[in-house]
């Protein structure tokens, strides 16, 4: 099955049939292809969507059949723990909670931030987790336009953040889906 088929099957809005129909799945099919059949580590921040809880964990575990998948959310999601899937509880706005992830798994090939969609949380997670991305890996932030602020990605690229992002070792930045999805690479492919 394609990534989009799995998204639609499990009811996540990353596909092209459910709720907001973000269509991130088509971008993911392309950028995840090199990782699909490898033994990798994936972290997804934000896994307890109240309408389709755990949907993206199901998608990831089916698509990446050899991956270890870690999910992180502010609510307890331990009922989603299955073979190759482990969940952690914490607040994306709390640096200590984010750093606790690295005590469980210190390196990731892919990190997807689909958490609160608050800019401060995006930045806290990114600045504390990007260094855990393995060479050739990627860090993705979904839904850059937080519902409580202006509908742009400018906060991510303001002068303060832009300089801090460079110092983290980001080599390449790609915007997708009309600026709603950003992928940050630690290596130029």
Domains, in order of start, for the chain: 3-185 (3.40.50.150)
- Average pLDDT on 128-141 reads 95
Q: Decide which of 188 and 6 is more confident.
A: 6
Alpha helices in 38-118 (DSSP H): 55-63, 95-104
Q: Is the pLDDT of residue 189 over 60?
A: no
With beta carbons less than 8 A apart as the criterion, state whether 65 and 3 touch: no
Supply 138's token pair: 């990627």
User: In 3D, which of 59, 30, 26 has the Cα closest to residue 42?
Assistant: 59
Q: Is the pLDDT of residue 42 over 70?
A: yes
Q: What is the pTM of this model?
A: 0.93
pLDDT, residue 52, reads 85
Q: Is the pLDDT of residue 139 over 90?
A: yes
105 vs 85: CA distance, rounded Å: 12
144 vs 174: CA distance, rounded Å: 13
pLDDT, residue 154, reads 64
- Average pLDDT on 64-77 reads 97
Judge whether 117 counts as a catalytic residue. yes
Tens of pLDDT, residues 154-173: 667 777 777 888 888 898 88
Q: Which of 10, 22, 79, 117 is catalytic?
A: 117
104 vs 116: CA distance, rounded Å: 22
- Average pLDDT on 74-83 reads 95
With beta carbons less than 8 A apart as the criterion, state whether 112 and 42 touch: yes
Burial label for 36, CB within 10 Å (0-12, 13-18, 19+), is middle
Tens of pLDDT, residues 86-126: 999 999 999 999 999 999 999 999 999 999 888 889 989 99
């Amino acid at each position: 099955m394609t990534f989009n088929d799995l998204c639609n099957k499990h009811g996540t809005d990353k596909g092209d049939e459910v709720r907001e129909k973000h269509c991130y799945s088509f971008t993911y099919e392309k950028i995840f292809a090199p990782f699909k059949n490898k033994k990798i580590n994936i972290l997804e921040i934000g896994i307890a969507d109240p309408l389709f809880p755990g949907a993206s964990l199901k998608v990831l575990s089916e698509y990446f059949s050899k991956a270890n998948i870690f999910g992180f959310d502010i609510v307890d999601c331990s009922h989603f723990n299955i073979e190759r899937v482990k969940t952690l509880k914490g607040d994306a706005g709390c640096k200590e909670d984010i750093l606790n992830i690295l005590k469980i798994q210190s390196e990731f090939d892919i990190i997807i931030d689909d958490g609160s969609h608050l800019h401060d949380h995006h930045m806290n997670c990114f600045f504390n987790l990007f260094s855990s991305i393995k060479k050739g890996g990627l860090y993705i932030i979904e839904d850059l336009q937080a519902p409580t602020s202006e509908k742009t990605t400018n906060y991510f690229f303001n002068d303060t953040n832009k300089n801090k992002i460079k110092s983290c070792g980001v080599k390449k930045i790609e915007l997708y889906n009309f600026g709603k999805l950003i992928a940050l690479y630690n290596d130029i492919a």
